[in-house]
Amino acid sequence: MPLDMGDGFAHSVRGILLRSRFGGGDLPRLRVLVAAQASLAGLPEPRCDDFVTAMDALAADAVRHDGRATLTLLRRARELECLITGPGSGRPGDPGRPGRSGSGTPGPGSADADGEGLWFTRLVADRLTVVPEDGGTTVGFVMRLG
């Protein structure tokens, strides 16, 4: 059943596993919660570690730029999806302009280190999306289960 969460994404949802508003001090707790949910959802190792690392990198980028953001973790039939929504643009180093899909995002050691979360996530995820919206951006990534 498709679910429009008003976030620019259509979901065939089995369930929302976690929804949490967070700031920088919440990242350690968020890593533990997401790791537990990813494992329970059936994401195998080492993909589970990659999922948590990608979430952490994107969440850290979000709080670095915006102070607070919201994480939503969704379990679909054969996928686990993480959405991070914040008031920023989603574009590394450019808080006032619309987001982009992540292509051309700089990697580690580049002059624009702000894009490391997108860079890493694009490497490990099965799908990465950046959706600019009025007043913010949602960055989402998916990993297939099993």
Give the domain range for residue 52.
Answer: 16-144
Q: Hunting for tokens 């589970």 — which residue is that?
A: 48
79 in any annotated domain? yes
26 to 44, 45, 59, 134, 142: CA distances (angstroms): 25, 24, 10, 25, 22
29 in any annotated domain? yes
CA distance 18 to 46: 21
107 in any annotated domain? yes
Alpha helices in 10-115 (DSSP H): 27-41, 47-66
- Packing angle of the helix pair 47-66, 116-124 (nearest 10 deg): 160
134 in any annotated domain? yes
8 in any annotated domain? no
Domain CATH for 40: 3.30.565.10
Per the structure, how many domains does the chain have? 1
Which residues, at least 6 apart from 141, have a Cβ–Cβ distance to it below 8 Å? 54, 58, 81, 82, 121, 125, 126, 127, 128, 129
7 in any annotated domain? no
Per-position pLDDT tens, the chain of length 146: 334 444 444 444 468 999 999 999 999 999 999 999 999 999 999 999 999 999 999 999 999 887 899 999 999 889 999 999 998 765 554 443 333 334 444 444 443 455 788 999 999 999 999 999 888 999 999 999 97
HSE of 61 in the Cβ direction (CA atoms, 13 Å)? 29
Instruction: Tell me the two tokens of residue 118.
Output: 């997108």
